[in-house]
Amino acid sequence: MTAPETRIRSVPMGEGPSGPAPKSLSTARIGIYAFLFISALFFLLPLYVMVVTSIKPMEEIRLGGIFALPTTVTFEPWVKAWSSACTGLDCRGISPGFWNSVKILVPSVICSIFVGALTGYALSFWRVRGANLLFAALLLGAFLPYQVFIYPLVRIYSATGLFSTIYALVLTHVIFGLPVMTLLFRNYYAGIPVDLFKAARVDGGRFFSIFFRLMLPMSIPMLVVALILQVTGIWNDFIMGLTFGGLANRPMTVQLTNLVAPTEGEIAYNVNMAATIMTAAVPLIVYFISGRWFVRGIAAGAVKG
Amino acid sequence: MSSVSIRNLQISFGALNVLETLDLEVQEGEFIVLLGPSGCGKSTLLNAIAGLLDITEGQIWIDGRNVTWAEPHERGIGMVFQSYALYPRLTVEGNLSFGLKMSGMPKAEIARRVLEAARILQLEHLLQRQPAQLSGGQRQRVAIGRALVRNAKVLLFDEPLSNLDAKLRTELRVEIKRLHKSLGSTMIFVTHDQVEALTLADRVAVMHKGVIQQLATSKEIYQRPINRFVAGFVGSPQMNFLPGTLVRRENATCFRLRDGSEVNLTGYVFSRPFADGQAATLGIRPEQALLRPSEHQHPDRLEAVFTIEEPMGPDTLLWGTLAGESFSVRISSDQTPVIGAKTDLYVNMAQASLFDEAGDRL
């Protein structure tokens, strides 16, 4: 061991700056914060109006000041929107739509992610003949507007007796989710070293056992991303629910439109706002809970390992 | 009976032939190293033996069974990869037992085998760790352990030491050699590192462009390379190549260099006949040229001029030219070389190599 004082330090320190430069709050940084603050304000303003309006009684709304804070706070519009607002002759509020949406959402999300992950896994590890062609075809599907498929799908579902059932809706969501889900998982698995897959094959893994025991547990970041994408997409879907669900399976979005559509008499803005917030709440909550994972998942796909 | 037998193997990707009609017989308990530059097909061959790659033509036999169409896990092999390929999110124990669980082995037997492998590789205290918490050397030991628990008769190594730093590489190399001695299983080891190849192998297969150039012991490969590729690829610094012609004299055979000087080839054992005046290349390894003649040596000498001296510790490398060709010599570090002036070199021709114009050994 050498004692510290024997360390060779023959060059003396000069005058002036030494060590790291001090950090200062520059004008550019102030500008960035100002911009961020104004943007946040801009995007939050509509939400503020919605929340404030939904807890005001109608008398206050008639006064006009949409930015004003409520003088009397009431949650009656929320209760009414949930359980007793009328869409046409049906006066059960928006709650049946909520439960319909849940019934559509859960199987659709699970099936579409599962099928997408499985396809992505098969495409990237099991060099299937024509895999690239298949993948290109799938990608093409992701770029076509899905409105063009509606009529053919209606014909197919009515011919097979699926029309107006929840199965038709789930199937539709799975099919339309497939291209993006496959793309997502294929790219994620492309970043996993192929040696890992080879090792699993030498260890006796087969198609499904490698997928379930090795690949799926490794894909948690990507599963979260897929979950957010699919929950948001399927919950917010309007046109599929309107077209294929039939009267009994209307999702919340369709019911919301019927609820807020102008009818005779006074428009209950507070009820409408409450119903809208409730409809938007599910994707928002999912986002808030897993937003960190979302960003992490996207980055994890880009960086190897 | 041979342990692994490759018969007439051919592998092509589209129009590209990666391996062309390759035959290889590996004896039971033998340590074979496949050595070659990147892209020579050595990893392709290993993957084909493991069953991880579709072959175009030929057969693969392991332990007396034709496994050409068998799945990787049915072939009785264990494999270690360059990138370790440990399963993330599984502990060391989970990694070791993964394959055994897949095959539905009873729990007690799995535990016994995992402990046995952990004992051999000194991994007992790491069993509950995640791969991310291990160092490179420990990871590679786990990867070897994963191949061991399968009790495979044939172990395949795909450049397992390339990702490790120099010190660990040497340690693990010795460990693999020791493992081979104690287990007695057949090992096939792919590397582009000639030191690994020469130190580990019972026999080295030097590959180039999808063809095994020479399959022989380390000593044979180094001392009697079968062609210029093998001679140039094995050995560092590279063997010196001096172009010239063979000249038959009354009582001896001489080699005439480009600058007109001649050396006597007495002592060189020709493996086939040659013609007078035939163009050839004389190959001399850096340590085969001496600054002073040894006792029994023919007094013929070569004249070189050295310009650069590289002290390496135990020995010193000299770089310069001989008959217009670049030439290097390894001398022991207690000798003092002459830099910048003509130096006499003495070569024992019995150790040198001669190649014809096609590059094959004469």
> Judging by DSSP bridges, how do beta strands B2-13 and B16-27 pair with one another?
antiparallel
**Looking at chain B, which residues constitute the CATH 2.40.50.140 domain(s)?**
240-355
Chain B positions in Cβ-Cβ contact with residue A217 (cut-off 8 Å): 89
Q: Do B89 and A198 touch (CB under 8 A)?
A: no
- A43 assigned to some structural domain: no
A216 touches chain B (CB under 8 A): no
Interface probe with B: pick from A203, A215, A223, most Cβ of B within 10 Å: A203
Q: For residue A243, tell me if it sits in a domain.
A: yes
Strand locations in A38-147, DSSP E? none
CA B95/CA B86 separation, integer angstroms = 7
**What is the reported pLDDT for A33?**
93
Å between A136 CA and nearest CA of chain B: 21
| Measured distance CA(B346)–CA(B352) in Å, rounded | 12
pLDDT of A2 above 50? no
Burial of B102 (0-12, 13-18, 19+ CB in 10 A): middle
Confidence of residue A290 (pLDDT cuts 50, 70, 90): confident
Chain A residues touching residue B143 (CB < 8 angstroms) = 199
CB B179 within 8 A of CB B168: no
Least confident of A88-92, A137-141, B134-138, B301-305: A88-92
> From the CB of residue A144, how many other CB atoms can be counted at a distance below 10 Å?
10
Is the separation of the CB atoms in B5 and B61 below 8 Å? yes
Which of A196, A202, A214 is the closest to B77 by Cβ?
A202
Count the neighbouring beta carbons within 10 Å of the beta carbon of residue B185: 20
Closest CA to B83 of B155, B115, B131, B35: B131
Closest chain A residue to B160 measured between Cα atoms?
A195
Rounded-to-integer distance, Cα B330 and Cα B240, Å: 11
The Cα–Cα gap between B85 and B135 comes to 14
Nearest to A221 by CA among A295, A112, A289, A118: A295
Residues 6+ away with beta carbon under 8 Å from B113: B100, B149, B151
Per CB-CB distance under 8 Å, the chain B contacts of A200 are 87, 98
Measure Cα distances from B170 to A165, B36, B164 in Å.
Answer: 68, 20, 9
Q: How many residues does chain A have?
A: 305
CATH number at B2-233: 3.40.50.300
Interface contact flag, A198 B81, Cβ < 8 Å: yes
User: Cβ–Cβ contacts within 10 Å for residue B7, how many?
Assistant: 16
Cα A58 to Cα B349: distance, rounded to the nearest angstrom: 110
Cα distances from B31 to residues B151, B168, B199, B226, in angstroms, run 17, 21, 11, 21
What is the predicted pLDDT for the residue at A189? 92
The chain-wide mean pLDDT, for chain A, equals 86
Neighbouring-strand partners of residue B299? none
Instruction: State the 10-residue block means of pLDDT for chain B, 362 residues long.
Output: 87 88 93 93 94 92 93 92 88 93 92 93 91 89 92 92 89 92 93 93 94 94 94 92 91 88 87 90 92 72 91 92 92 87 88 92 92
- Quick count: other Cβ atoms within 10 Å of Cβ B177? 15
- Fold (topology level) of B240-355: OB fold (Dihydrolipoamide Acetyltransferase, E2P) (2.40.50)
Q: How far is the alpha carbon of A212 from chain B, nearest alpha carbon, in Å?
A: 12
Range of the domain at A139: 95-302
B140 vs B125: CA distance, rounded Å: 16
**pLDDT in the model for residue B88:** 86
The pLDDT score that the predictor gives to residue A246 is 81
pLDDT band of residue A252 (cuts 50, 70, 90) is very high
- CATH 3.40.50.300 in chain B is located at 2-233
Q: Show residues of chain A in contact with B87, CB under 8 Å.
A: 196, 199-200, 214
Q: Which residues of chain B have a Cβ shorter than 8 Å from any chain A Cβ? A: 47, 50-52, 71-73, 77-79, 81-85, 87-89, 98-99, 102-103, 143, 146-147, 150, 158
Q: Which of A196, A204, A218 sits opposite B102 (nearest CB)?
A: A204
Quick check: A297 and A222 in contact, CB under 8 A?
yes
pLDDT surpasses 80 at A113? yes
Cα–Cα distance, A12 to A20 (Å, whole number): 18
The Cα of B203 is separated from the nearest Cα of chain A by a number of Å equal to: 25
**Domains in chain A: how many in total?**
1
Residue A194, min C-alpha distance to chain B (Å) = 8
User: Chain B residue closest to A220 (CA)?
Assistant: B89
Rg over alpha carbons for chain B, rounded to the nearest Å, is: 25
B66, B90 in Cβ contact below 8 A?
no
Nearest to A193 among B72, B85, B147 (CB): B85
- Residue of B67, B84, B87, B90 for testing the chain A interface, max A β-carbons within 10 Å: B87
Question: For residue B31, what pLDDT is reported?
Answer: 96
pLDDT given for residue A264 in this prediction: 66
Q: Is residue A23 over pLDDT 60?
A: yes
Minimum CA–CA partner of A217 in chain B: B89
* Tokens representing residue A217 in the block: 């547990």
Q: Name the residue of chain A whose CA is nearest to B151's CA.
A: A203
Edge-first strand order for the sheet with B31-35 is B77-80, B154-158, B186-191, B31-35, B203-208, B211-216
Contact B146 A199 (CB under 8 A): yes
Q: How confident is the model over A40-80, as pLDDT tens digits?
A: 999 999 999 999 999 999 888 888 888 888 888 899 999 99
| The residue to which tokens 């290349």 are assigned | B281
**Of A193, A204, A218, Cβ closest to residue B89:** A218
Which CATH number covers residue A130? 1.10.3720.10
Tokens read off for A244: 């294929």
Rounded to whole angstroms, how far apart are CA atoms A219 and A185?
8
Does residue A298 surpass a pLDDT of 60?
A: no
A114 falls within a domain: yes
Q: Report yes or no: A49 and A41 within 8 Å, Cβ to Cβ.
A: no
Q: What are phi and psi of A50, to 5 degrees?
A: -60, -50
pLDDT of residue A297: 55
What's the token pair of residue B181? 């001695």
A29 within some domain: no
Q: Which two tokens stand for residue B14?
A: 């589209």
Q: Name the residue of chain B whose CA is nearest to A205's CA.
A: B102
Instruction: Quote the tokens at residue A82.
Output: 């949930």
Pairing between β-strand B31-35 and β-strand B186-191 as defined by DSSP bridges: parallel
Instruction: Answer whether B192's CB lies under 8 Å from B181's CB.
Output: no
Contact at CB, B73 and A217, closer than 8 angstroms: no
* Contact state of B99 with A198 under an 8 Å Cβ cutoff: no
How far apart, in whole angstroms, are the C-alpha atoms of residue A282 and residue A105? 11
Q: Does A298 touch chain B (CB under 8 A)?
A: no
- pLDDT grade for A305, boundaries at 50, 70 and 90: very low
Does residue A63 lie in a domain region?
no
The Cα–Cα gap between A167 and B255 comes to 88
Residue A30 lies in a domain: no
pLDDT of B89 reads: 83
Tokens of A271: 């009820």
A103: confidence class by pLDDT, cuts 50, 70, 90:
very high
Residue A16, class by beta-carbon neighbours within 10 Å (0-12 exposed, 13-18 middle, 19+ buried)? Answer: exposed
* 3-state class (DSSP) for residue A185: helix
**Tokens 């599962």 -> residue:** A114
CB contact under 8 A, B89 and A217: yes
Q: Between chains, do B99 and A203 touch, taking CB under 8 Å as contact? A: yes
> Phi and psi (nearest 5°) for B283?
-110, 125
Q: Do B71 and A213 touch (CB under 8 A)?
A: no
Phi then psi for residue B220, to 5 deg, are -60, -45
Cβ-Cβ contacts under 8 Å for A189 (sequence gap 6 or more): A120, A121, A124, A125, A215, A219
Closest CA to A258 of A104, A77, A85, A99: A85
- The residue type found at A244 is F
Average pLDDT over residues A150-172: 90
From the list A106, A303, A115, the residue with the least C-alpha distance to A211 is A115
